[in-house]
Amino acid sequence: MQIIDLLVWVLLSCSILYAISTLLILIGLHLPISRVTNASQPFISVVIAARNEADYIGKCLEGVTNQTYPKNRYEVIAVDDNSDDDTAEIISQYESEHSNVTGLAVANDYPEMAAKKRPMSVGILAAQGEIILTTDADCQVTGRWIEGFAKHFEEDVGTVIGFSQTKTPGARLGYFERLQGLDFLTLMAASAGSTKLGIPLAATGQNLAYRKSLFDSVGGFSSIADRPSGDDVLLLQLLSKQDCRTLFAEDPDTFASTWRTESPLEFWQQRRRWASNAFAQLKLNPAFFAYTLVVFLVNLLLLLTLVLGIYRETSGIPFACWVLKAMGDLLVISKGTRLFNRRDLISAFPIWEFVQPPYIVFVALTSLFTGFTWKSRRHC
């Protein structure tokens, strides 16, 4: 058997696994919305890490301090991570104006923690809340955000994953911004589908809540301290192993929106940072690692077999695999855009589907062999 024939049959096998994974995510997305009935008002600590976020932190703090949740039942802890701009001054201003806002700064605390885990550790240590609720400094939330999350924390619930999006429906988006928004929505839809099946795979620190006692029971970020990313996805794997439920919040009141859109270079650096955690998943969640490996192989083999076999009879199989992949992707994305009211992003699907194979392969390979820059810091 020639190499091209072998690659084609490996592609076919991986495509079947990809189709099964897609079907499971679709089943999860079509399950009824989880009923949330908790009527208590646990004390909640909103923890925000900020580095060089002077352009955004003010709007973020404005949103989290104007909530329907009783002010005596939550606090906001904003941690400045050695910013070079006016971030610390803006946090200080809000601290002076709001009794439930505390501004902290990273000094010599947690030197073993990489990147964002360091300021997050500082903030969580100071938190008095039963529930830790996180968002990013470049995000904005609804006025019922805290109330919406509180309703999810019944006694057996330990973690609640929130939906985050690029800007909001109706906002003006350039085409590359629309591609970013669709790519992120695809990740969120996969997270929602898998979580509703009881297999939580991914989350974003832009919108995530968990019990502080659960965080402490897994040792916080200590086992993943050296990773420059993963304060959300890797932490989720640790939390989900404990004896408690993980929910995905589908209530629009709980949605968060990031108003920062990345340039192509920044987008590439961001996705490489995310991809750098792939092998950490091998230990934390082998099933998730296997899923990401299948996604990578499908996209890699599509490229290889189409290029190598374009003049051969076997080229029909790669084209068929790509068509079937596109159909599955479209079903997931269509459901996701309806579920999260982001139909404005669907027009970017054809280009997104076309560029996804080289994008996935390039990001994955460069994350393994080169470092990346994040928040003006170099990580290897």
Chain mean position to CA 87: 24
Q: pLDDT tens-digit profile of 293-341? A: 999 999 999 998 887 766 566 567 888 899 999 999 999 999 999 999 9
pLDDT band at 33 (very low <50, low <70, confident <90, very high): confident
> To the nearest whole number, what is the mean pLDDT of the chain?
90
∠ CA 112-124-258, rounded to 5°: 95
pLDDT for 378 equals 64
Residue 93 amino acid letter: Q
Is residue 372 pLDDT above 80, yes or no?
no
pLDDT for 130 equals 97
Is residue 127 pLDDT above 90, yes or no?
yes
How many CB atoms lie under 10 A from the CB of residue 125?
15
Cβ-count burial of 237 within 10 angstroms (0-12 exposed, 13-18 middle, 19+ buried)? buried
H or E segment to which residue 122 belongs: helix 117-126
Is residue 242 pLDDT above 70, yes or no?
yes
Q: pLDDT tens-digit profile of 173-195? A: 888 999 999 999 999 999 999 99
> What pTM did the predictor assign?
0.92
How many CB atoms lie under 10 A from the CB of residue 7?
18
Selected from 3.40.50.720, 1.10.357.10, 3.90.550.10, 3.50.50.60, the CATH number assigned to the domain covering 39-263 reads 3.90.550.10
Query: Do the beta carbons of residue 181 and residue 349 sit within 8 Å?
Result: no
Give the mean pLDDT of 50-61.
Answer: 95
φ and ψ at residue 75, rounded to 5 degrees: -135, 160
pLDDT band at 93 (very low <50, low <70, confident <90, very high): very high
Q: Where are the domains of the chain?
A: 3-28+284-379, 39-263
What percent of the chain clears pLDDT 90, i.e. is strictly above it?
68
Is residue 273 pLDDT above 80, yes or no?
no
Is residue 356 pLDDT above 60, yes or no?
yes
